Structure 1
């Protein structure tokens, strides 16, 4: 063993704290939300008249559906984009893990109204031409002492 490590337990604790801090900061910095926020911060707003097809631009406005809106499976809200992931906790002895039962992302083309102008957005999956970070609309869980809500139970029956 190295002589300076045996005499200074504070050094070991300091190194562990430093490593954990680096892991935490790195995880936060490279999270999908922060990555998208950095990209958006670098992308300037442009007037609608200067947009080009298939150009990456930042727009902000009210989203309007082109067709009948999608219905989010859990919240039953009308939307143009949703992502749902249902996981089940499995365990085998000492280890436990999450098994994904359903993972679905659905979207449709939509308009964005910007100062009276309309811009059509046509996201596609293949090839993927968008980056998304959705705010969680509804989150639910169930377990031994926590019965599922009726909406969640009906969704689980569809599996």
Structure 2
């Protein structure tokens, strides 16, 4: 009888180890998903109702959903060559031996101040400020890759070199590299959170007032910007 029970116990313990291992992997996957940059931004946005620009109080932290226009000349994104007011580029290289994984080799964010129009009212978004005062998530809708049998285009090679990187290794073989870019284009609808400040302005956004609403952030109440459509699903306050 004991000869039968012992193998059964070992088998049961084996199943238990497998189940615990699977649960641990699932827990880490959930934590990574829940606390991802994107989902932290979407959760923060969902907690605050949107508001009409003219109803914003001075120094109020608010949400605005609207379409983008420029104040001055737009940026041109480095990968997709698109006119925009903000771009994010992520370039990753696959490294390692048997268990290769992707490593970020270029992480570039660049933005300029721009205008958002909502319900016929306009505000100025101060997106050119320090990275410490803002959180930005943009949908990466431009995707390229290069590798063993796939040479990068000339402008991708130039972009890598401008950041001190190269598409080939020691023996001239192409590295496995993927390129991702997201932008805020002119006329695109976005969602933002920020602190509103009414200031004297030369931009004439409101013909009835010399003041314009400026949206910004600081280290505590950050300027949050996203073009993810999910952020626009919440109801207006």
For the aligned pair, the TM-score class normalised by the smaller chain equals: 0.7 to 0.9
Which residue number in structure 1 is paired with residue 24 of structure 2? 19
Q: Given the superposition, is the C-alpha separation of residues 45 and 136 from structure 1 closer, same or farther in structure 2, using an over 3 Å criterion?
A: same
TM-score, structure 2 as length reference: 0.58
Task: State whether structure 2 residue 36 is matched by structure 1 residue 31.
Answer: yes
Deviation at residue 112 of structure 1 after TM alignment = 0.4
Q: How does 1:71-150 map to 2 (within 5 A)?
A: 71-91=76-96, 100-126=104-130, 128-150=132-154
Deviation at residue 155 of structure 1 after TM alignment = 2.1
Which residue number in structure 1 is paired with residue 201 of structure 2? none
* Of 147, 151, 157, the match for 1:153: 157
Greater alpha carbon shift after TM alignment, 31-40 vs 120-129 = 120-129
Once the two structures are superposed, residues 137-158 of structure 1 have per-residue CA deviations (whole angstroms, 9 ceiling, x without a partner) of 3121211111112331332343
Any conservation in 1 of the 2:92–2:105 contact (CA below 8 Å)?
yes
Secondary structure (helix, strand or coil) at the match of 2:46 reads: helix
Any conservation in 2 of the 1:75–1:137 contact (CA below 8 Å)?
no
Greater alpha carbon shift after TM alignment, 39-48 vs 127-136 = 127-136
Point out the structure with max Rg over C-alpha: 2
Deviation at residue 89 of structure 1 after TM alignment = 4.1
Any conservation in 2 of the 1:63–1:112 contact (CA below 8 Å)?
yes
Greater alpha carbon shift after TM alignment, 124-133 vs 65-74 = 124-133
Which residue number in structure 1 is paired with residue 213 of structure 2? none
Q: Given the superposition, is the C-alpha separation of residues 78 and 124 from structure 1 closer, same or farther in structure 2, using an over 3 Å criterion?
A: closer
Deviation at residue 44 of structure 1 after TM alignment = 1.1
Measured in 1, the distance between the counterparts of 2:104 and 2:93 equals 6
Secondary structure (helix, strand or coil) at the match of 1:84 reads: strand
* Of 67, 73, 79, the match for 1:68: 73
Any conservation in 2 of the 1:109–1:122 contact (CA below 8 Å)?
yes
Once the two structures are superposed, residues 114-144 of structure 1 have per-residue CA deviations (whole angstroms, 9 ceiling, x without a partner) of 1111111112443733221111031212111
Secondary structure (helix, strand or coil) at the match of 2:89 reads: strand
Any stretches of 5+ residues in structure 1 without a counterpart? none
Any conservation in 1 of the 2:110–2:128 contact (CA below 8 Å)?
no
Which residue number in structure 2 is paired with residue 47 of structure 1? 52
Deviation at residue 109 of structure 1 after TM alignment = 0.4
From the two aligned structures, give the one with the greater strand fraction.
2
Larger RCO, structure (CA 8 Å, separation 6 or more): 2
